[in-house]
């Protein structure tokens, strides 16, 4: 088990001598609690300051009093000039998932939706009785650079499918490559390099370009022999000549035919890996081709064929995808996403920002950061849960707006978002890959 308890996590944060805050719900009024100095209310959360060396003892005491710890913060994060002690309860703010048009059987995964959406059970204990919550996972066993640029693996294109439907903008393709005979193993959230043929403008061989892997470690056919990508052909108007320029590697890839050879390097990347715990909350913020790693996560979490081969990973947490695209025909993997949503309404929520069809409150294009602003309180409540990981992938331009929206929600509780974000980055709960 990679996760560590709050005490070990605190030690990693160089915080052995520091004070932490437990956010607790469900404390009952009784003889023992009458003797505490907690501000107990019938509903809502209470915040209890706990010195590092009393964390486990206090946790047991809270459990005895009927309380549940829903999050733990280092006190520095909260102590931004506030005396606030009570937060609103997450549950009342979580609305039901957006309706979708697809009708399939509905499944509810074993955890209750309230647990999945943010009401952490008291943290589990390992064999030694140590309490386990989220802490930065060590990724020593993740494969990297099995194939380097000077000796790439030559894979074969199996298929090249159009993802943008009629009326959509540009060319985005789902590509599947055969890895048979290679040593190339990868996991969800990693990228591979592709070396396009030919030479650059200086006459040197073209260099590799990175692409996020869009398939699970087992591949789209769940037979451990393929890898898939989601690639947009780069197309822009040259700022001086005004002529249309097409990107070298993205054009090469999006024009591939089944049977063509492809030079593949990697895999690389440990920033975007999923946590091992199956009861995690996973917030995904993607624009356009930034959906690639999210597709891999969602397939691993929910696809029947995946669940049947991953006995160790039966996801029963809560996943929320906020997805920004220019038009409805540009919603990549639309049918499959909506099928998952219809099948697992309590475990998967899907929110689109369709920039050229919807407006934000100011009348401008609806971007993903506008959806984050709309849902900022719910997202903030989720992000505070130690079981929550947030993933951002796609255009770098979305980041400032996301920060601004979450800053506002956090500030209502006296928390400085930039400090909080630093803390959860350090814990390995805030994952960004933007380009
Ligand atoms: C970690 C990572 C993951 C990625 N994942 C994906 C993915 O999943 N899918 C995907 O499609 N892409 C992804 N990319 C982007 C990909 O690596 C390539 O950068 C992209 O395909 C363009 O490569 P190209 O060879 O087609 O363009 P090139 O021929 O290399 O042209 C790119 C160059 O064109 C110029 N240029 C680009 N746009 C403009 C503009 N508007 N105005 C003027 N000049 C411009 C710039 O000089 C730029 O460097 C990822 C990148 C990274 C770093
Ligand atoms: N490394 C790279 O250079 C690289 C890699 C991949 C893609 N690209 C290029 O990036 C562009 C996007 O391609 P894509 O397929 O990934 O996405 P896409 O399908 O074009 O969708 C991107 C979405 O993000 C919106 N958006 C634009 N600016 C934004 C901002 N500042 N904040 C939040 N959202 C914003 C877009 O809105 P509007 O378009 O309506 O404004 C659109 O709705 C393309 O031009 C592509 O060629 C570049």
Spans of all domains in the chain: 19-28+42-77, 153-268, 281-434
Q: Which ligand is nearest to the CA of 294?
A: 1
Tokens linked to 123: 């943290």
State the CATH class of domain 153-268. mainly beta
Residue count (the chain): 435
**Sign for the pseudo-dihedral over CA of 55, 59, 65, 71:** positive
Buried b / exposed e along 293-325 (16+ C-beta atoms within 10 A): bbbbbbbbbbbeebbeebeeeebbbbbbbbbbb
What percent of the chain has pLDDT above 90?
67
Residues 123-158 pLDDT 10s: 333 333 333 344 455 677 899 999 999 999 999 999
pLDDT at residue number 124: 38
**Options 73, 147, 211, 367, the catalytic residue:** 211
The confidence band for 106, taking pLDDT boundaries of 50, 70 and 90, is low
pLDDT at residue number 102: 31
What is the CATH architecture of 281-434?
Answer: 3-Layer(aba) Sandwich (3.40)
Sort residue 129 into left (φ over 0), alpha (ψ -120 to 50) or beta: left
Tokens linked to 2: 């990679």
Distance of CA 404 to the CA centre of its chain: 19
pLDDT at residue number 305: 97
Quick check: 325 pLDDT over 50?
Answer: yes
Q: Which atom of ligand 1 is nearest to the CA of 250?
A: 26
Task: Report the alpha-carbon distance of residue 295 to residue 297 in Å, rounded.
Answer: 5
The confidence band for 433, taking pLDDT boundaries of 50, 70 and 90, is very high
Asked if residues 372 and 405 have their Cβ atoms less than 8 Å apart, the reply is yes
Q: Which ligand is nearest to the CA of 371?
A: 2
Average pLDDT over every residue of 49-65: 72
Quick check: 39 pLDDT over 50?
Answer: no
Residue 356 three-state SS = coil
Using a 6 Å cutoff on CB, does residue 121 contact ligand 2?
Answer: no
Using a 6 Å cutoff on CB, does residue 432 contact ligand 1?
Answer: no
Task: Report the alpha-carbon distance of residue 350 to residue 235 in Å, rounded.
Answer: 29
Closest protein CA for atom 36 of ligand 2: 326
**Options 71, 76, 191, 212, the catalytic residue:** 212
**Options 393, 413, 420, 427, the catalytic residue:** 393
The confidence band for 100, taking pLDDT boundaries of 50, 70 and 90, is very low
Average pLDDT over every residue of 293-311: 98
Please give the distance, rounded to the nearest whole angstrom, from the Cα atom of residue 70 to the centre of ligand 2: 36
**Sign for the pseudo-dihedral over CA of 376, 378, 384, 390:** negative
> Which is more confident, 45 or 186?
186
What percent of the chain has pLDDT above 70?
72
Quick check: 97 pLDDT over 70?
Answer: no
Mutate to test the pocket of ligand 2, among 232, 253, 400 (most ligand atoms within 8 A of CB): 232
Quick check: 87 pLDDT over 60?
Answer: no
Closest protein CA for atom 32 of ligand 2: 398
Mean pLDDT of the chain: 81
DSSP element (H, E) containing 319: strand 318-325
Using a 6 Å cutoff on CB, does residue 398 contact ligand 2?
Answer: yes
- At the topology level, CATH places domain 19-28+42-77 in Dna Ligase; domain 1 (3.30.1490)
Q: Is 180 annotated as a binding residue?
A: no
Closest CA to 372 of 322, 313, 428: 322
Residue 45 three-state SS = strand
Q: Is 352 a catalytic residue?
A: no
């Amino acid at each position: 088990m990679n996760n560590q308890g709050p005490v070990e996590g605190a030690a990693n944060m160089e915080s052995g001598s520091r004070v932490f805050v437990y956010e607790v719900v469900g404390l009952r009024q009784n003889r023992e609690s009458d003797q505490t100095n907690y501000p107990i209310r019938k509903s809502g959360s209470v915040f209890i300051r706990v010195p590092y060396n009393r964390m486990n003892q206090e946790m047991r005491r809270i459990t005895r009093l009927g309380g549940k710890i829903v999050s733990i913060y280092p006190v520095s994060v909260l102590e931004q000039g506030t005396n606030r002690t009570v937060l609103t309860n997450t549950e009342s703010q979580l609305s039901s998932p957006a309706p979708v048009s697809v009708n399939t059987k509905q499944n509810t995964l074993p955890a209750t939706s309230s647990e999945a959406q943010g009401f952490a059970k008291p943290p589990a204990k390992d064999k030694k009785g140590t309490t386990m919550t989220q802490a930065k996972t060590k990724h020593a066993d993740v494969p990297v650079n099995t194939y380097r640029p000077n000796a790439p693996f030559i894979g074969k294109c199996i298929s090249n499918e159009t993802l943008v439907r009629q009326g959509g903008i540009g060319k985005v393709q789902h590509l599947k490559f055969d890895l048979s005979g290679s040593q190339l193993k990868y996991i969800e959230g990693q990228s591979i390099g592709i070396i396009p043929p030919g030479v650059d403008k200086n006459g040197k061989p073209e260099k590799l370009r990175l692409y996020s892997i869009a398939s699970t470690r087992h591949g789209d056919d769940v037979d451990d022999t393929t890898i898939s990508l989601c690639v947009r052909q780069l197309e822009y108007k040259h700022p001086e000549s005004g002529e249309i320029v097409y990107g070298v590697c993205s054009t090469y890839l999006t024009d591939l035919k089944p049977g063509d050879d492809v030079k593949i390097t990697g895999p690389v990347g440990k920033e975007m890996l999923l946590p091992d715990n199956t009861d995690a909350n996973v917030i995904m913020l993607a624009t356009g081709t930034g959906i690639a790693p999210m597709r891999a996560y969602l397939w691993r979490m929910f696809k029947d064929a995946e669940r049947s081969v991953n006995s160790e990973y039966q996801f029963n947490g809560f996943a929320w995808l906020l997805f920004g695209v220019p038009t409805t025909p540009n919603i990549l993997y639309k049918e499959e996403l909506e099928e998952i949503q219809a099948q697992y309404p309590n475990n998967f929520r899907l929110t689109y920002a369709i920039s050229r069809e919807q407006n934000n409150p100011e009348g401008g294009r609806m971007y993903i950061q506008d959806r984050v602003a709309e849902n900022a309180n719910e997202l903030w409540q989720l992000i505070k849960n130690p079981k929550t990981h947030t993933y951002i992938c796609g255009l770098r331009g979305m980041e400032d707006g996301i920060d601004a929206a979450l800053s506002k929600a956090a500030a209502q509780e006296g928390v400085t978002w930039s400090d909080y974000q630093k803390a959860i980055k350090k814990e390995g709960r805030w994952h960004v890959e933007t380009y």
